[in-house]
Structure 1
Amino acid sequence: MPINQPSNQIKLTNVAVVRLRKGKKRFELACYKNKVLEYRAGTETDLDEVLQISQVFTNVSKGSLASKSDLTGSFGASTPLNDIILEILTKGELQVGEKERSANLSQLHNEVISIIASKCVDPNTGRVYPTTMIDKALTEARAKELWSGVKDGKSAKALALEGIRALVKAQIVPIARARMRVRVVIGKAGKDKVKEYVEKVVEEEMNGGDWVAECDVEPGRFKELVELVKKESKGKGRVEVLETAVVHEGENDT
């Protein structure tokens, strides 16, 4: 299917631009912002709902369409227009205005701080830190590179994990991941091995031939614990998550 691009200009308003540089050329699509995000998340599959117009531009704001020679030179003469559009849509960068970018960054910043505060504690007391203290500690840790992840489209959760690593490394304040609380069910013979993987056994009892215990485990060892129980019990035991983050009562999160 040959590439067939009109050479005239098309004026559009209220558009979200997806931009991709291919070689030395810049190509853009005129889209609906929310639909771009939904398409990339897999919840929208209809391109007609994503694109304001099924054409490739060199500059959407000026209404300048990409020429056939630009497209063939960058994507190849045999590449269908639809495939070019899909490449730009999936690999291109979604452009936003300065005010919107600032608002998005502020929202992401607050979300990252909240995640870190909910997942970390002072290892000496088991209490969570206020979000204001986490924010200040990140600033003192000079974790500016953390926010560069926004350009890479990293999620708040991914950025929070990077932030936790930065805080642990900088040692501005004593900090550790809050422990997970799990229920372990395994045969009596596997009890001692499980205890080597958990930080604390909160409650335990024998139920028939099984050892049933509520335990606190460091998040980084959770998968190892699951594999151990599976192996030692030959698939008959189980590990259930009761709480993803155990903290002491009386903490403030302001």
Structure 2
Amino acid sequence: MRFCISEKDLDEVLQSQIVYSNVAKGVLAKSKDLKAAFGMDDQTKICLEILEKGELQVAGKERESQLSNQFRDIATIVMQKTINPETQRPYTISMIERLMHEIHFAVDPHSNSKKQALDVIRELQKHFPIKRSPMRLRLTLPQDKFDSLAEKLSEWKAVILSKDESGSQFSVVCEIDPGIFRDCDALVRNLQGRSEILAISVHGEGDFHADDVSSSQETSTSTEVVQQLTEKMQKPTFVSEPTSDLKHCTTCDAVVGDAKQYREHFKSDWHKHNLKRKTRQLPPLSAEECAADEELTDSKKDLSEYSF
């Protein structure tokens, strides 16, 4: 596997810019060995050369671990972007993973997790009661233009939460399907107004529970499948007692598991996000908070993902 470098900051690519002769044992490469192999001992330049010309060697177990972590990342994105239309609440991450297995989803390690998550949502909507969670917006425009906007909001089945009049300006807070955002934003701009994203994904309070499914009408195959999955989740599971071998990550301020899980944690987006916060002297976030923080940042940079 060849590397293609688009990131200019090495700190965003590597955990360390130190070259090892045996990383497992922590043995640093000697200067004479570096000169013999690369013709120089400048470790930063050597790291760049390795990234540009080297090949990534991944063991079977490590590849399996990477796919498992990416599967979890995709499921997390799906959970954040969707709700159960009957309860207006998000499904649990365990339920989302079970549904992904039901549609025989396979991770593509060469594709972006967010893109795959959107593909998963489209496929899940064909089989299960699931829909995109709405966006919450504040739309501000001249008062004499509001009638034109109100007509479109009604057509889009937007939920209007509040209205506010201030001088010649009229402001409305509403919730719309994310797929409509680009059209809505374009319309507001044409009406000489502006749109502001208040929330990327709006969920009802609380998470999905088994009762939410069992109380629904059993008239569709998709609902029955969800009920079956829920019953499986209710079966007792045996969890071993925690031991003193559990590792604590000081960067994330969390217990992350045994030695193997501890090593895998350092490769996770959660840990990398908190590393960035640590350099800015900000407190660590939980895994869910990190995912939400990254989602908000990404959405401000590129809103094209909402047009499906």
Q: State TM-score, norm by structure 2.
A: 0.51
**Correspondence list, 1:171-250, <5 A:** 171=127, 173-195=128-150, 196-197=152-153, 198=156, 199-233=158-192, 237-250=193-206
> What does the per-residue CA deviation read over 1:2-53, in whole Å, with 9 as the maximum and x for residues that have no partner?
xxxxxxxxxxxxxxxx44xxxxxxxxxxxxxxxx68x4433239xxx7999x
Letter in 2 for 1:200: V
Unmatched tracts of structure 1, length 5 or more: 1-17, 20-35, 53-84
**Correspondence list, 1:90-169, <5 A:** 94-144=56-106, 147=107, 149-150=108-109, 152=110, 154-169=111-126
Partner residue in 1 for 2:7:
41
Alpha-carbon separation, structure 2, partners of 1:114 and 1:158? 13
Q: CA deviation at 1:89?
A: 3.6
Partner SS for 1:105: helix
> What does the per-residue CA deviation read over 1:95-132, in whole Å, with 9 as the maximum and x for residues that have no partner?
31112111111111111111101110011221101111
**1:143 touches 1:166 (CA, 8 Å); kept in 2?**
no
Partner SS for 1:241: strand
Larger Rg: 1
Partner SS for 1:250: coil
The 1:50–1:190 alpha-carbon spacing in structure 2 relative to 1, beyond 3 Å, is farther
> What does the per-residue CA deviation read over 1:141-194, in whole Å, with 9 as the maximum and x for residues that have no partner?
2223xx1x21x2x2221211111111112x2x2111000001010112322332
Alpha-carbon separation, structure 2, partners of 1:137 and 1:99? 25
- Give 4+ residue runs of structure 1 displaced > 4 Å after superposition: 49-52
Letter in 2 for 1:218: D
The 1:134–1:191 alpha-carbon spacing in structure 2 relative to 1, beyond 3 Å, is same
Q: CA deviation at 1:229?
A: 0.7
Letter in 1 for 2:166: N
Unmatched tracts of structure 2, length 5 or more: 12-16, 21-47, 210-232, 234-308
Alpha-carbon separation, structure 2, partners of 1:155 and 1:232? 35
**1:181 touches 1:215 (CA, 8 Å); kept in 2?**
yes
Root-mean-square deviation over aligned CA pairs? 3.2
Aligned length: 177
Letter in 2 for 1:109: F
Letter in 2 for 1:202: L
**1:138 touches 1:166 (CA, 8 Å); kept in 2?**
no
> What does the per-residue CA deviation read over 1:33-85, in whole Å, with 9 as the maximum and x for residues that have no partner?
xxx68x4433239xxx7999xxxxxxxxxxxxxxxxxxxxxxxxxxxxxxxx9
Identity %: 28
Comparing both chains, which one has the higher relative contact order based on Cα–Cα distances under 8 Å and sequence gaps of 6 or more?
Answer: 1
Alpha-carbon separation, structure 2, partners of 1:193 and 1:115? 34
Q: CA deviation at 1:211?
A: 1.3
The 1:242–1:140 alpha-carbon spacing in structure 2 relative to 1, beyond 3 Å, is same
